[in-house]
Amino acid sequence: MNEVPPLNDGILLTAHGTVENLAELPAFLARIRHGRPAPPELVKELERRYAAIGGSPLLRVTAEQAKELAAQTGLPVFLGMRLWRPEIADALSAALGEGIQRLCVLPLAPFSVHVYFSAAEQALARLKEAPGAALPAGGKLELVACEPFGQSTGYVAAAADAIAPFLTSETSEALILTAHSLPTRIISAGDPYRDQVEASARAIAGRLGRSYELAYQSQGADGGDWLGPDLRTTLVAAQARGRKRVVIAPIGFLSDHVETLYDLDVEARGWATELGLEFVRVPALNAAPALVSALAEAARRALLG
């Protein structure tokens, strides 16, 4: 698809968000928890994890992805985080200020596109309703949803091609694909997340021609039932089946963040070592050209409809 969207189109590249200053962690966690303050012990633990990895590169990587996406599409790309700064509302204001009339909402969360689109809709509604809101003359902005792209040819190829160099032909090797866990109540309420993750995992493993295990990592600290199997259980099962080497590929994470740099590289590696398993972790795609191409294709399809 080589058509070029109209010049008054743009892209909102949106992600979860993170802090760069650890002093902001309590406020960040409260926002994630819908206004409920985080227990001090949770704040302290997350401070320890951020410090252990030298801080999260998420914002820097997302900005790089935005820059490359703009270069590839020829469209302005506005960066807004769902749960921290820069805010989605700030990105929308910037788009309006530049005369953008249609904005493709492109989340860096291939299995939660609907969640981020809803957040953008809510931010736009608040922007319009804010007391003293002064939108540019004639400022009208249509938000355009992209399709979930975790099963797209471009994303599947990008993920599989990134994993392939880490695999061997050894029968004692296990390929484990991971995605972020969610509370099961969200899945029970009809969220398509699990179905989309599972379909993407099948497609990626199919391209590789490999058997695989799917694990859900980084469960929350609030208790309750979470989507599984969890990663530790999956590692224990792999060791029980005689596996000696595990290759972990975080297909649910497009940028390296605490979930990969700590939850995998530190915590999961420790579990594997305890089990006598060789541990190999595939990096997130970050700003890899193949991922940027997949993102560009998703945006073009949305805008050219």
Domain containing residue 208: CATH number:
3.40.50.1400
End-to-end CA separation in angstroms for the chain: 11
Residue 157 sits in the same domain as residue 132: no
Q: At what angle do helices 289-304 and 58-73 cross, to 10 degrees?
A: 60
Alpha-carbon span 60 to 30, nearest angstrom: 23
Residue 55 included in any domain? yes
pLDDT at residue 202 in the model: 98
Residue 2 included in any domain? no
Residue 136 sits in the same domain as residue 160: no
Residue 179 included in any domain? yes
Residue 184 included in any domain? yes
pLDDT at residue 160 in the model: 98
Indicate if the alpha-carbon torsion angle 208, 214, 217, 220 is positive or negative.
positive
pLDDT at residue 290 in the model: 98
Residue 142 sits in the same domain as residue 70: yes
**Strands in 63-212 per DSSP E:** 77-81, 102-107, 142-145, 173-180
Range of the domain at 253: 153-281
Residue 158 sits in the same domain as residue 145: no
For strands 142-145 and 102-107, give the pairing. parallel
How much is the pTM? 0.93
pLDDT at residue 17 in the model: 95
Distances (CA, A) of 196 to 60, 111, 112, 177: 27, 6, 9, 13
Residue 22 sits in the same domain as residue 135: yes
Residue 1 included in any domain? no
Residue 164 sits in the same domain as residue 264: yes
Q: Which residues contact 33 (CB under 8 A, 6 or more apart)?
A: 222
pLDDT at residue 223 in the model: 74
Residue 138 sits in the same domain as residue 238: no
pLDDT digit string (tens) for the chain, length 305 residues: 556 666 699 999 999 999 999 999 999 999 999 899 999 999 999 999 999 999 999 999 999 999 999 999 999 999 999 999 999 999 999 999 999 999 999 999 999 999 999 999 999 999 888 765 555 555 689 999 999 999 999 999 999 999 999 999 999 999 999 999 999 999 999 999 999 999 999 999 999 999 999 999 999 877 789 999 999 999 999 999 999 999 999 999 999 999 999 999 999 999 999 999 999 999 999 999 999 999 999 999 999 97
pLDDT at residue 220 in the model: 85
In the block, residue with structure tokens 């990895």: 53
Residue 132 sits in the same domain as residue 30: yes
pLDDT at residue 224 in the model: 84
Alpha-carbon span 111 to 179, nearest angstrom: 9
pLDDT at residue 1 in the model: 53
Residue 59 sits in the same domain as residue 96: yes
Residue 142 sits in the same domain as residue 207: no
pLDDT at residue 134 in the model: 53
Residue 115 included in any domain? yes
Residue 222 sits in the same domain as residue 249: yes
Residue 17 included in any domain? yes
Q: Supply φ then ψ for residue 173, to 5 degrees.
A: -100, 140
Residue 143 sits in the same domain as residue 163: no
Q: How many domains is the chain partitioned into structurally?
A: 2
pLDDT at residue 191 in the model: 97
Residue 3 included in any domain? no
